[in-house]
Amino acid sequence: MSNPPTPPSDEWTPLFRTSPFLDLIGPLFQRPNDNGDGGFAIGLRIKEELCNARQGAHGGVLATLADISLGYVSSSSVEPAAALTTANLSLDYAGTVKLGDWLESHVDVQRVGGRAAFANCFLMVGDKRMARASAVFIRSGDV
């Protein structure tokens, strides 16, 4: 059995929330944003099980990371945290994420209102943008 995937530095800690599905693709990690806005980035190391036949991360992995990053960061940007359900997720792929790459999200929450929330993000490998995503969430109450 191989060693579990690790983050690039000690500033990354295990993601505060998980699920049986996220356990399959993870482990996932988080770290505070550099800009001090209270947000956070989510990252994961691309392991063999997440790759297609060409040893690139499957597009569904990128879509999953975008969806949870956009949702978790948007939810936690208000007090109390909002219960959000994805209504729309748009994703544009801009590069190939390879086996062993560290992939991380950078989220910009546009608005969390009484009925809906809107956010954008980039998925990055180092300083290279691999995907751009945006989402609309329906607010279903507070968690």
Domains along the chain? 13-142 (3.10.129.10)
Band the pLDDT of 10: cuts 50, 70, 90: confident
- What's 99's DSSP letter? T
Find the mean pLDDT for residues 40-59. Answer: 93
Question: Do residues 21 and 3 lie in contact, with contact meaning Cβ atoms separated by under 8 Å?
Answer: no
The verdict on whether omega for the bond into residue 20 sits within 30 degrees of 0, i.e. cis, is: no
Give the pLDDT confidence score for residue 1 in this predicted structure.
40
Has residue 143 got a pLDDT over 80? Answer: no
Q: Which residue has tokens 């001090």? A: 36
Find the mean pLDDT for residues 53-59. Answer: 92
Comparing CA positions, the residue from 72, 76, 65 lying closest to residue 102 is 65
Comparing CA positions, the residue from 97, 28, 88 lying closest to residue 60 is 97
- What's 114's DSSP letter? S
DSSP-assigned letters across all residues of 18-78: --HHHHHH---EEEE-TT-SS-EEEEEE--GGGB-TTSBB-HHHHHHHHHHHHHHHHHHTS
Question: Do residues 20 and 62 lie in contact, with contact meaning Cβ atoms separated by under 8 Å?
Answer: no
Has residue 52 got a pLDDT over 50? Answer: yes
Those residues with Cβ within 8 angstroms of residue 50's Cβ, 6 or more apart along the chain or in another chain: 25, 57, 58, 61
Mean residue pLDDT across the chain: 90
